[in-house]
Amino acid sequence: MSDVESNRNLAPGRDVAIPRPGRSRGAAYNRFLLLVAGLGGLLYGVDVGIIGGALPYLEATSGLNAGQLSIIVAAVLLGSVISTLFAGLLADWMGRKPLMVLSGFTFIVSIPMIALAHGYGPLFLGRLLQGISGGFIGVVVPLYLAECLSASSRGKGTGIFQWLLTLGIVAAALIGIYFSYRVADVMRVADAATVFAFKDQAWRRIFWVSLPPGILFAVGALLVGESPRWLFRRGKKDAAYSALLR
């Protein structure tokens, strides 16, 4: 089959050939799309898993009661449920790329809000923002891949997203395990006040460590092009054609 398709309606007054998504673009750009999508999956996994390693030290040093801690843990799921309800509408209204950028920066904002928090309110809000970010990512990234990759590459894109989502959960668990050994080492040699201070810093550092994937995803989302299908539906036919040629 030909690598291009004829479409007389893409640009007024002239015939143009539309490359099928992913066929005429450089392989490097397609790999970059998959990388950004994978980072989105990684970020979603970190969203879900990071609290597991931080919770014992948060419980020991924050002064929060069991009910508050439970809400802090569940806030990510609450945020994800809320944002998932509106993610499709937002993706259609503002575009796939802007929503990906928004989700990345929402995650970035949430980390210092949590890691610098002293009290229930900032912790809850930061965790809620984490969940909102994850909900957006879980909807818009697979949608973006479906519209930008060729049919033969969509399965690969979805697989990479899901694999790195799982890897994000595993990475969050490994971060927690690492800090558990660090805390155990300090407990063997330090007094109670030092141990308390180290535990307080441990849960904060666990969240700080999760920040780089968010930054990488946000930067990557800024660099990719908009979905050609979304551009075409918005009447931006020349921009859609240019996006297909990337």
Of 137, 74, 73, 138, give the one whose Cα is nearest residue 106: 137
Residue 14 reports pLDDT greater than 50: no
> How many CB atoms are closer than 10 A to CB 197?
13
CA distance 129 to 111: 9
Fold of the 27-244 domain: Growth Hormone; Chain: A; (1.20.1250)
Domain-by-domain residue ranges, the chain?
Answer: 27-244
Of 39, 57, 40, 38, give the one whose Cα is nearest residue 176: 57
CA distance 14 to 142: 33
pLDDT value for 246: 67
pLDDT value for 78: 95
Note the helical H segments in 149-191.
151-189
In the numeric block, which tokens belong to residue 224? 């990719």
Please answer whether residues 96 and 226 qualify as being in contact, where contact means their C-beta atoms are separated by less than 8 angstroms. Answer: yes
CA distance 177 to 183: 10
Sequence-separated (6 or more) residues with CB below 8 Å from residue 164: 38, 39, 41, 42, 45
Average pLDDT score over the chain: 86
pLDDT value for 106: 96
pLDDT value for 154: 78
Residue 122 reports pLDDT greater than 90: yes
CA distance 156 to 224: 18
Residue 146 or 199, more confident: 199
pLDDT value for 153: 75
Residue 18 reports pLDDT greater than 50: no
In the numeric block, which tokens belong to residue 109? 């904002």
CA distance 34 to 141: 10
